[in-house]
Amino acid sequence: MSSRVLPERPLPGHAVCLDLRTAGHGPGPVAGAYGAEAEAAVRAALDAPQPAGERRFLVVDAADRLVAHQLLYERLSSYGPAHIVCLAVGARGERTVSRSLTLRPPAAGILWVFDTADDGVPGEAVLRPLVDVLSTPEVFDAVLRALGEVVHGVAVPAVRVLEHDLTDEARARAWRQAVEGLTGPEVPATGGVFAEQLPGALALLLDEGVPRSLSGHHWLPPRGRAGARLAACEEALGDAVDGYERVRGAAGLLTRVGRTVDLPGDVERVTEELARFRAAVADAFGAAGGTRLTAEHRGLLRDRGVELPEMPREISRTGIVPALRDHTHDLIAKGLPLRSVAARLAALSARTAPVGSAARLARLDAICGPERLRRLGGRHPFTAGGSRPAAFAVTGLLALLAGVWPVVGWVLGPAVGVLAAGLAHLALRRRPNRSPDGRIDGGGATGAAPRLFGGLVGGLAGAALGQFLGPPAWAGALAAALSTAVVVLLALRDWSRAVDDWWARADPEAAGRILREIQALVVTTAVHDWLFAEVRHHCSAGAGAVARLLRALAATADAHGQPYAPRESSDRTETAPPPSPDGGAASWSWEDWGDDATDTWSDLDDEPPAGASAPSHHGPSSPGDAFDPFDGPGASDPYGTTAPYGTTAPYGTTAPYGTTAPYGQAPGAAGGPPPPSGPAPGWLERRYGDGGPALVDTLVGDLVAGTVLILDRCWAGIERDPGATVSAVHEQRLDELLAETRLRLERDVAASPPPAYDGLRDREGLAALAAFTDRSDRPDAARLTGVAPDAVARLLLAEDDPGRTVALCGPEHLRLLSHDPLAARQVRFVPEAMRRGAAGDDVWRGTAEDVVWTGAGRHAGILRLVPLRADVVNTVRAEEAGEP
């Protein structure tokens, strides 16, 4: 039994294929008569999953063994009604075909083909593409209906098929790029995490804000230890501010208020109470912490004056994993590869990991450390009066003005200087940095001596000047009064400025800012390190688990990023690689993908391995022969289609997507993908592209959508135990996803959407991924393969021309066929992907209305079912067949 004839894995909904040509002969029980291999093939076919009510089997069998295998065909219907199309391979000398009643229409039909190995084309090269075409459910059903309309339900097929596919190099390159697009490059372990890009539940864990429901909560009640310290500190600060307001005005200098206010003592008390409050907060920070807030922790905090509320309604542990899921889906939907998403989740895990309230002590020291307390309790000198030379000059001038009053000026002039000096001395005695009892004194200077000397000198000089000028008495009196008033006002101004300057340097009000920062730190710690401890731990563990899973999935996908080297088969001794699906040797075959972990990887960008045949520039026919897709080798092309590989193309002939073949040069010889090597049947025209512009993006979208579904199965386990080890089952599922995507890339260049992903269309936030699973939005075959569909459209024109197809029989069999032109039935089939997209709308106008549009596949063409003469088909009843 040749496994290369049958598809490696049937696509969902496709007919299940089995090969019975190697079934045993001879008498004996059933197991011995049919052979263990045939029995195993039937059992495997019955176990293959199929849609309910649509059980299809495509059987490859020897034409002379149809009756002997009657029980095997009956067993295919043992699970319920089944539809069977039998591809009966006949020898050159056969002139009749016998079939049992089991293979009658409408549930079954037979296509009789003849071995063409003598023509130089291996039989497998003929059967493999034919099996691929017939296993497509739409073609299978159409062929079965057509067989029901011909005599005896047996026909010889006449075929013309065009195959649109990728070169091996293009397929390997697209797959490698798709895997790289899924996994992404290596990135640092810490990625950027921005709170505004996170869901609300996660952003609340990062911004260190307070939920709105807790905005009015009293974290430090006055009756508690920390609250009492806070109240005492605020009271001391209030007393200091009140004393400062009383001292800084005229009352502080001219009345006894300055002697009753102990401003330095109030500042000292502020510093002491602030230190006590800081110690109480530090004690609370060190007493509680961890990954979970327990009743014991609440009791410890209550003893230290911190009252915690219940968990706010804005956040809960049960909402963390859904928020992580939405965030992960959002990152994936934005096009980030797995490793980039893993890096961001790892950074989120690091930022949300609870570190305990003890870690806040460093921040507490930065807010209210010993150095800051020392500066707050420091003693600063009190200085007033400004510059001493300026004080001497100003006082002397004012005394001079007061002394111009004749005779009286000898007394008034020096008296003004004495007044200025007295006020300066009073300011020094009542300075705000000195306690009334003298216990605290920061020292100071007010410039009394310069004012005294300046006043005496100026007053005597003014008296002498007044004696000489002799101004009227009223002018002297006015000058003396003005000088006295200015001296008093200047003294009050200097006092207020000096008090303000000392207050600013001492800065007791900084204690108020420190108190507010400590209270904010207490609230942040209470919310994020105590209330949210368990939630943060759950979030950190969950994000870390998803990050590890994504990295594991990326590593698993990387293992599939390079193609396999050709594998040696156990039943072959030659060194050449296994034939490709079309019968030719290739340096790499997509059939060789399997589940083995021991396969050797190779890079198709390098030279092909030893034993692989070089790409040939000759077409499907024999080397050097021109190939016509309609009339066979050597015939002309009546429709003017593009010349196949091996022939010359007219100058300026445009290849898909704008590449041109120079005059006299075969397409693929230079500047284009080379054609596959090896022979092919004359009815099969291969058109190989180098990959369209949408191929890689489509593959990446399929892989990403499948990865999202794999992740969907993980969230429940992460919710239960975020720290659990990532199960290898998810990596196995990704292996299956990669294998399935590779299979579709081989079977139809990923033109068919993965049916398992239909659930994505109902998922909120995944519309971008769902577009990849929608058949109507999926790119057309031309954008996937890089091959234009015009040749397919010309092949399927409405005219019914039997000359277009090639009968799968030799000339000696033509007399066995019915010559009634109306008895033949024709099935035209085209993959739906070939007409999707705006580019393909015009070329399909005028094609036949009975075209069968298939959901998947890389083949398009015509199947003509030519019936046989009535005397060629023999129907053997069960009782006539006997026990085989």
Burial of 537 (0-12, 13-18, 19+ CB in 10 A): buried
The count of other CB atoms within 10 Å of the CB of residue 120 is 10
The encoded tokens of residue 100 equal: 């049992």
The answer to whether the CB of 200 falls within 8 A of the CB of 539 is no
Longest dimension (CA), the chain: 166
Query: What dihedral angle (degrees, nearest 10) is formed by the CA atoms of 382, 388, 392, 394?
Result: -80
Q: CB under 8 Å to 697, separation ≥6 — which residues?
A: 181
The encoded tokens of residue 521 equal: 């730190």
The encoded tokens of residue 655 equal: 């290849």
Of the candidates 850, 816, 846, the residue with the CA atom closest to the CA atom of residue 830: 850
Please report where in the chains the tokens 């496709």 appear, as a residue. Answer: 14
Please tell me the predicted confidence (pLDDT) of residue 16. 93
Handedness of CA 250, 251, 257, 261 (dihedral sign): negative
Please tell me the predicted confidence (pLDDT) of residue 196. 55
The answer to whether the CB of 585 falls within 8 A of the CB of 579 is yes
As a whole number of angstroms, the distance between CA 69 and CA 46 comes to 16
Please tell me the predicted confidence (pLDDT) of residue 438. 73
Please tell me the predicted confidence (pLDDT) of residue 668. 35
As a whole number of angstroms, the distance between CA 87 and CA 132 comes to 12
Please tell me the predicted confidence (pLDDT) of residue 547. 92
Helix (H, G, I), strand (E, B) or coil at 108: strand
Question: What are the boundaries of each domain within the chain?
Answer: 16-161+798-881, 195-378+512-554, 387-440+450-506
By DSSP bridging, strand 873-876 and strand 97-100 are parallel
As a whole number of angstroms, the distance between CA 149 and CA 866 comes to 11
Rg (CA), the chain: 49
Please tell me the predicted confidence (pLDDT) of residue 638. 28
The encoded tokens of residue 520 equal: 């904010």
Burial of 879 (0-12, 13-18, 19+ CB in 10 A): exposed
How many residues appear in the chain?
A: 884
CA–CA distances in Å: residue 752 to residues 51, 134, 561, 836: 17, 17, 21, 11
645 half-sphere exposure, CB direction, 13 A CA radius: 27
Please tell me the predicted confidence (pLDDT) of residue 789. 80
Per-run averaged pLDDT (10 residues), the chain, 884 residues: 66 86 48 66 88 88 91 89 93 88 92 70 79 92 94 92 90 92 78 63 79 81 88 90 86 77 86 91 81 78 85 81 90 90 90 84 88 83 81 83 78 84 84 80 80 82 78 80 88 88 87 91 86 87 92 89 44 33 31 31 32 33 31 32 30 30 31 48 88 90 90 86 76 88 85 62 45 61 85 72 82 87 89 66 61 85 91 76 42
As a whole number of angstroms, the distance between CA 440 and CA 265 comes to 7
Cis peptide before 106 (omega within 30 of 0): yes
Please report where in the chains the tokens 């053997």 appear, as a residue. Answer: 876
